[in-house]
Structure 1
Amino acid sequence: MCGRYFIDRNIIDKLLEDMYDARIKPGDVHPGDFGIIASQKGYEVMQWGKPIGSKLVFNARSESVTTKPFFQDDFNKRRCVIFARSFYEWNQEKKQFRFHYPKNGMMLMGGLYDQAGHYVIITKPANNSMIAIHDRMPFLLAPGVMKDYLFDEEKAKALLKQKQPPLVNEAMDGQLSLFEV
C-alpha cells in the first residue's frame, strides 16, 4: 500500500501557481500531512487520511471502493487526483524502495475525498514493477484520462480495471531497475 509519496517544488509551483499554502512543503508526504489534489472543483489542499475512530485510513482497495459503505459515496461523488513525483514501498525485510516513471514524470494517483477535507489513495494489485516488493500499488492514471476519472462515474469505474504502467524501482541504496508490465 502507498504509505508515503514525494512531491517536489516544481509540482507545487505548477499546481498552486500564485497561491501560497504553508501546509504544503516539498518532500515526503506522510498520512496525516496535507497534499494537493485535483477535484471536480479544481486544485485543493486537503489532509491525507480519513479518520475512523482513533485510526487514519489512507488507502482504499480498487476492488471494493465502489461497494464498501465507508468509501462508496465518496467514490461516486468525490473522486480526486493526487500529484506526486514518486512513492515508496517496503519489502518484507523492511528495505525501502522508491517507485517512479522512467523519466521521473509527474504521477497522477486516483483517490477520493470526504466532505470534511480528507483524501485517500486508491490501490490496486501490484503489476510486474511492484510484485517483488509489495502486493499493492497506487492506482495510477494517464494524464489524458484525468477529466474522465473526475467527472464521469462510469468511466472512473472502468479506469479502475485498467492495467498499470511500468515503473522504475530504486532501492534506497541507489540501485535502479526498470520492469515492464
Structure 2
Amino acid sequence: MCGRFVLIESLRAMQNLFGYPIDADYIRRILDMSNRYNIAPTQPIVIVDAGLDGVRHARLVRWGLIPSWTKEAKTQSLLFNARSETAADKPSFRTAMRHRRCLVPASGFYEWRRMGTAKMPYYIRPRDGSTMAFAGLNETWLGPDGSEIDTGAILTTSANRLMAMLHDRMPVILDPKDWDEWLDCGNRRPRDVEHLLRPAADDLLEAIPVSERANSVANDDEALIAPLAEPLMIDAKPDSQTVDPTSDDDDEPPAQGSLF
C-alpha cells in the first residue's frame, strides 16, 4: 500500500523531469507543494497527466479518489489506493483507468514494520536519489450545487523482495520510458497498459529506518527522513540478500482526517 509519501523537488527540476510547461498560475498554486515530507490522504498532491493533444500538464488534486457517480462526497470512503489487479473492473476506478491515468511524482514513501508492540517507520526511496512517478488515477467529482473536486488515487501492486520485508503491497513505480504509454489514454486501453503495473525491480529502492515522528501527520520537516540506521537493500541477484526478510501484512499508517 502507500499511505504516506514525500516530494522534495524544485519546480524547475520537476518541469525538466516530467516535461510540462510552467506558467505563473502553476507557480502560484504549487509553490507551497514542494518540500513536503509527510503527505497524507485528503491532502493536495501534484499529478501529471496528458490532454487529448498529448501535452503533459501538472495539476493539484485531493489525495483520495471520489468516483464521479458518488452522490455525496462526505460519505464516500477514502479511496487513496487502488489495487492494480482489479482497478480496470471495479466501478470506483474503471472509468479513471480508461480515461484519466496520471503520474504522481514522489521522492519516496513510508511503510511501517512491527517491532514488538511498536511500529517502526521506514522511508523508502530510489537508491540513486532520483524522483519517482507512481501510477495514478484522477477523477473530477461534480456536486449537485455545481461545485467540483479534483481527486486522485495511487495504484498498488504486490511487493518486490525488498518491500516484502515490510508489507505485501507497494505502489506501482513506472519506469520513465513507460510514462508516455501509461498517459496515452486516447490510444491505449487498460488491457494495453496492464503489463506496466508490476513490482519495481528488487534493487531499485532502499528502506531507511526513520523517526517515529513520521507516524504523525502534524510533523512535516526534513528530520523525518534522517536515517536512524543503515538502510535495508536487496542485491540484483536473487541469492544475495542483505538481510533476512520478514513480513507484517497488517502494518498501516495511522488513520487520517478529512478535508470536508
Same-fold call, TM > 0.5?
A: yes
Distance 1:12 1:31, change over 3 A: farther
Name the TM-score, length of structure 1 as normaliser: 0.90
1:1-181 matches, within 5 Å, as 1-10=1-10, 14-15=14-15, 17-18=22-23, 19-21=27-29, 24-27=33-36, 28-41=38-51, 42-51=57-66, 53-93=75-115, 94-116=119-141, 117-151=150-184, 152-153=188-189, 154-160=191-197, 162-165=198-201, 166=203, 167-172=205-210, 173-180=228-235
CA positional deviation for 1:163 = 4.2
Contact 1:12 1:26 in 2 (8 A): no
Bigger Rg over Cα: 2
**Percent identity between the two aligned chains:** 26
Name the TM-score, length of structure 2 as normaliser: 0.64
How many residues are treated as equivalent by the alignment? 180
5+ residue gaps, structure 1: none
CA deviations 1:114-158 (Å, max 9, x no partner) are 123100000001010100101100001000110100102243222
Structure 1 or 2: more strand by fraction: 1
Q: Which moved more, 1:28-37 or 1:132-141?
A: 28-37
Displaced runs of 4 or more, over 4 A? none
Q: Which moved more, 1:36-45 or 1:102-111?
A: 36-45
5+ residue gaps, structure 2: 16-20, 52-56, 67-72, 142-149, 211-227, 237-260
Contact 1:111 1:119 in 2 (8 A): yes
Distance 1:13 1:105, change over 3 A: closer
Q: For the residues of structure 2 that align with 1:147 and 1:13, how far apart are their CA atoms?
A: 19
Q: For the residues of structure 2 that align with 1:61 and 1:84, how far apart are their CA atoms?
A: 19
2:239 aligns with none
2:70 aligns with none
- Kindly report the root-mean-square deviation, in angstroms, between the aligned alpha carbons of the 2 structures: 2.0
Contact 2:157 2:199 in 1 (8 A): no
